[in-house]
Structure 1
Amino acid sequence: MWRKLSKNNLFGYGKPDELGTVSSSVELYGKTGRGFVVQHIKFAENYRLYSRSHFVKAFEVAMLLIVYIAYGYTKGGATSFILITISSWFLVFSWLFAPYIFNPCGFEWQKIVEDFDDWIGWLMYKGGIGAKGDKSWEVWWEEEQAHIQTLRGRILETILSLRFLIFQYGIVYKLHVGGHNTSLGIYIFSWIALVIAAAIFKAFTISPKKHGKLPVIWRFLQMVIAISLVVGLILFVMLTTLTTPDLFAISLAFIATGWTMLSLAITWKRFVKLIGAWGSIREIARMYDAGMGLLIFVPVALLSWFPFISAFQSRFLFNQAFSRGLEISLILAGNKANVQS
């Protein structure tokens, strides 16, 4: 970015008129250090930059707002709810989508396809010796944990992570299937269900090449587990008072509790490695990042189907340039205008 300077300011000449303004001077441009951003930033790079500082916090606030919609009470009804929460929803959408709204060519379909391929490649790349965080999700994930070093830091991180259990506790006792039962057994049963879900996840993520010599039998067992899970869920819905909103609420509770367990495992990494569960923790973390990335990427991809969205974004980002008749296409193509001295 360049700032307009007068030669009077630079060299001390140029006569001021009666009003104290410079009437004769030559305009120059001095560098301010702020670039005129016309380069498209890839989706994966934006995700790495804002994931832990903005995206995670935005999803946490969004989950709280969803719970407030489902179980909260406002005296004025829907109108009061909208007036109370609209600023919070605006904050959530700003944290999630501002890096992509203000990203040049962020809604062009070709760029979206390239960004998706790049993001999937980064997410699934295992890394290795000399690999960097911008090439491998695993390396980046390990680097994000580097700040947890001292015992004091681990204790504070543990205390902060436990706040999600309050979220789970509140949802469990609001389920229709539990009725008005507030006994401790309901909460214990929720943890049993979580352990079963973790065991099922482990069963589907174990590689038969590493843990056995009978991959066909192992795949068959996975199929049996999947069918049993679906049948059991259907029977549970039919034989109990479990409702569809309950299933959605249980999913939210599992997501929050799983994030708690993941955060605690990262905090006490040494102990998790001792019991041999670090590989599973890493895969769960990969699933969380994949899920958060998809929730952000899908709306951006859907909007990119409409050509006028990309045109509107270009007009929005480069409005001053358009008003002066500047050809943005030349800048995006990397061409430089001829400068006349």
Structure 2
Amino acid sequence: MERGSTNVRKVGQSTLAWMVRFHYGHPDIFDRLFHITRGGISKASKTINLSEDIFSGFNSTMREGNITHHEYMQVGKGRDVGMNQISSFEAKVANGNGEQTLSRDIYRLGRRFDFYRMLSFYFTTVGFYFSSMVTVLTVYVFLYGRLYLVMSGLEKSILLDPRIKEDIKPLENALASQSVFQLGLLLVLPMVMEVGLEKGFRTALGEFIIMQLQLASVFFTFQLGTKTHYYGRTILHGGAKYRPTGRGFVVYHAKFADNYRMYSRSHFVKGLELLILLVVYLAYGKSYRSTSLYLFVTFSIWFLVASWLFAPFIFNPSCFEWQKTVDDWTDWRKWMGNRGGIGMSVDQSWEAWWIGEQEHLRKTSIRALVLEILLSLRFLIYQYGIVYHLNIARRSTSILVYGLSWLVMLTVLVVLKMVSIGRQKFGTDLQLMFRILKGLLFLGFISVMSVLFVVCSLTISDVFASILGFLPTGWCILLIGQACAPLIKKTTLWDSIMELGRAYDNIMGLVLFLPIGFLSWFPFVSEFQTRLLFNQAFSRGLQISRILAGQKDIGEFE
């Protein structure tokens, strides 16, 4: 499927050559006479046909041609070695597969293939991306289903059934055995078999162990999120575009702000959502509290969350050096504080980046916007469920209890609106007045919350639960506001939506930065990361370069 196939793919390519094979990558040889006499291979669309080369394979197959695989020579293909460059490449390919899914070529081939050829067709084109998206969606469905069971009290009523208590042991055994396969052993099996055929099964087993020690599972789990996000967003909104990735040997320290801009919406937001789901499920769930079943059920999801949140920093050279951490924090605060303007790039201002992240919503259809809004409503489940579990509810199921909880959200929006007005009037010329205004608003908000804390007899657990309940609600309001931006911009609420987005990005950035800052205190963490990412010769050269460079910035090599 790609030029310069490696050992791992050689067996698969030879097998697929006599069934169905589509060339994805730069074509090596075209039969010019065959294609010219059958309409050529040019396409009129630059978005649907983003992955232009594979459509030549589609056309050849539909016109009763074939794509063969000849092993004349085998060389290694130069590719990017930086985390961000690899993610950009994966995003580009995922976008291309999303557009392929929407194309008429896939439809025509799917209607004409027999069952066995359809299996190979699924494997060689959009099947892997579709199955990856279904895998991630299954995690969401499972956790939100569990959230509903816990918050509605249905789980508790089920556990009180004596028949369930007697039959819980077989369920534990079944889930325990299933969790072993959830670690990805079935996905690893094809790689072990192919390497075993090439070099022997002892070598294949050794390579598998080395890959795990090099945190390959963390890397590929993170790339699973990249594929799912861009593939799903392309299917929903379209808008695929070419992403330059480069071909050079690039190993450099990416700033925290760069990583946040690149992975915020694709990984960090989703990872924190799953994290809150797991915490709420652990806090309110009763089913697995006294058994090890909770660990078996959620271990793979915890691993997914950790990979999506921290993989960009684990594979970022010099990420845990103290000076680099200080510089990253300074750069992050400067980027968050700068106001956007006409012609300002995304790496200079948070506002410019935030507006650019919504570009796909401006070019999509009404049906996609409606679906985006409906999907955003899932965040209201947190607030609705947690409000009725607080002491303030007094076990009341009245809808007024839920309605009163929205007063808190309206108060937050009013405060954000006042901050936005203050930023416009005092932010440039009267910095002192602006800071005094923010301080007074903060003290007023804390005072109101303290009165509610005393009057309603709230406990610390109630406050923590309220935060878990209202944070997703604010994010729901933010997503709906972004989807309805053309309408909201005609009112005075757009500045409040922007300030709400800035507040959430500040919170997410702080949550992600705290573990990095803590680990940067310990010098051995940075040394361990260098040995993990690079071989011994490169690690030694990196240390020598630091000594020779002195005070110069030595975190970048190209």
- Taking structure 2 as the reference length, the TM-score comes to 0.50
Does 2:245 align with 1:59? no
Determine what percentage of the aligned residue pairs are the same residue. 43
Please, which of 386, 400, 407 is the counterpart of residue 171 of structure 1? 386
Does 2:518 align with 1:302? yes
Q: For the Cα contact (< 8 Å) 1:164–1:257, is it kept in 2?
A: yes
* CA spacing shift, 1:250–1:226, aligned 2, 3 Å: same
SS of alignment partner, residue 317 of structure 2:
coil
Please, which of 520, 528, 533 is the counterpart of residue 312 of structure 1? 528
Please, which of 120, 126, 129 is the counterpart of residue 333 of structure 2? 120
SS of alignment partner, residue 319 of structure 2:
coil
2:318 corresponds to which residue?
105
* CA spacing shift, 1:173–1:229, aligned 2, 3 Å: same
Q: Quick check: 52-61 or 275-284, which moved more?
A: 275-284
Give the RMSD, CA atoms, in angstroms. 3.2
- 2:347 maps to a residue whose letter is D
Mapped to 2, the partners of 1:228 and 1:283 lie a distance apart of 18
* CA spacing shift, 1:310–1:266, aligned 2, 3 Å: same
2:306 corresponds to which residue?
93
* CA spacing shift, 1:81–1:285, aligned 2, 3 Å: same
Q: For the Cα contact (< 8 Å) 2:478–2:497, is it kept in 1?
A: yes
Please, which of 44, 48, 54 is the counterpart of residue 257 of structure 2? 44
- 2:78 maps to a residue whose letter is T
* CA spacing shift, 1:207–1:96, aligned 2, 3 Å: same
Q: For the Cα contact (< 8 Å) 2:416–2:499, is it kept in 1?
A: no
Mapped to 1, the partners of 2:506 and 2:264 lie a distance apart of 11
Please, which of 271, 276, 285 is the counterpart of residue 487 of structure 2? 271
For structure 1, the residue ranges without an aligned partner over 5 or more in a row are: 4-28, 337-341
* CA spacing shift, 1:153–1:173, aligned 2, 3 Å: same
SS of alignment partner, residue 206 of structure 1:
helix
SS of alignment partner, residue 242 of structure 1:
coil
* CA spacing shift, 1:210–1:146, aligned 2, 3 Å: same
Please, which of 384, 390, 395 is the counterpart of residue 180 of structure 1? 395
The alpha carbon displacement at 1:64 in A equals 0.5
Mapped to 2, the partners of 1:202 and 1:123 lie a distance apart of 18
2:293 corresponds to which residue?
80
Q: For the Cα contact (< 8 Å) 2:335–2:349, is it kept in 1?
A: yes
Please, which of 320, 323, 329 is the counterpart of residue 543 of structure 2? 329
Q: For the Cα contact (< 8 Å) 1:44–1:115, is it kept in 2?
A: yes
Q: For the Cα contact (< 8 Å) 1:209–1:215, is it kept in 2?
A: no
Aligned residues: 308
- 1:72 maps to a residue whose letter is G
- 1:250 maps to a residue whose letter is S
Structure with higher RCO (Cα < 8 A, 6+ apart): 1
Does 2:202 align with 1:156? no
1:8 corresponds to which residue?
none
* CA spacing shift, 1:60–1:102, aligned 2, 3 Å: same
- 2:462 maps to a residue whose letter is D
Q: For the Cα contact (< 8 Å) 1:171–1:249, is it kept in 2?
A: yes
- 2:505 maps to a residue whose letter is D
1:238-258 per-residue CA deviation (whole Å, 9 max, x = no partner) reads 333311111111112221111
Mapped to 1, the partners of 2:525 and 2:258 lie a distance apart of 22
SS of alignment partner, residue 92 of structure 1:
helix
Does 2:34 align with 1:34? no
2:500 corresponds to which residue?
284
2:282 corresponds to which residue?
69
- 2:408 maps to a residue whose letter is A
Q: For the Cα contact (< 8 Å) 1:127–1:138, is it kept in 2?
A: yes
The alpha carbon displacement at 1:76 in A equals 5.0
1:129-166 per-residue CA deviation (whole Å, 9 max, x = no partner) reads 22111222111111111111321221111111111011
Mapped to 2, the partners of 1:145 and 1:206 lie a distance apart of 23
- 1:195 maps to a residue whose letter is L
1:242 corresponds to which residue?
458
Q: For the Cα contact (< 8 Å) 1:125–1:136, is it kept in 2?
A: yes
Q: Quick check: 322-331 or 269-278, which moved more?
A: 322-331
